[in-house]
Amino acid sequence: MFLRTVALTGLAVIGLVACTTAPIYNVQSAPVSTASGKAVTATQVRGAIVAAGSNLGWVMSDARPGVLAGKLALRSHVAEVEIPYTEKTYSIVYKGSSNLNETGGSIHKNYNGWVQNLQRDINAKLSALN
């Protein structure tokens, strides 16, 4: 009886964790587009990414030319991404996390929402250029 109770409790905990995780969301080569349709520079794309991240609490830093490192720390949760960019495209790629239950390509579903919000705000900032 005791083993059965332990097993059922274990399955319930696994079920709760599984319900809060989802496949990691990455943005791959999203096109840079402006409302005017005019071309922009990589420096302008970088500025839009930094501004969007700052609006949402992300700390952006230069990792190397053409690549930003983004870090979001909320309570005890930390998400880290790498954001390569050019004048034509940008990507948002998972790099690491803590307290987000990342395992086997899955992560706490809130992470995906944070990245989707970042993507949405980057697109809005890019659209406003020119």
Where helices occur in the chain by DSSP H, the ranges are: 2-19, 42-55, 109-127
CB 49 within 8 A of CB 58: no
Look at residue 1 and tell me if it is in a domain: no
Look at residue 56 and tell me if it is in a domain: yes
Look at residue 15 and tell me if it is in a domain: no
Look at residue 71 and tell me if it is in a domain: yes
Look at residue 14 and tell me if it is in a domain: no
When pLDDT is cut at 50, 70 and 90, the band that residue 1 belongs to is low
Q: What is the pTM of this model?
A: 0.85
Write the pLDDT tens digit of every residue in 73-127. 999 999 999 999 999 999 999 999 999 999 999 999 999 999 999 999 999 999 9
| Close Cβ partners of 50 (under 8 Å, ≥ 6 residues apart) | 60, 68
Write the pLDDT tens digit of every residue in 7-64. 434 433 444 444 589 999 999 999 999 999 999 999 999 999 999 999 999 999 999 9
Look at residue 11 and tell me if it is in a domain: no
> Can you give the pLDDT at residue 41?
97
Full residue range of the structural domain in which residue 55 is found = 22-127
Distance between CA 17 and CA 43 in Å, rounded?
Answer: 41
Q: What is the CATH number of the domain that holds 106?
A: 3.30.310
- Number of domains composing the chain: 1
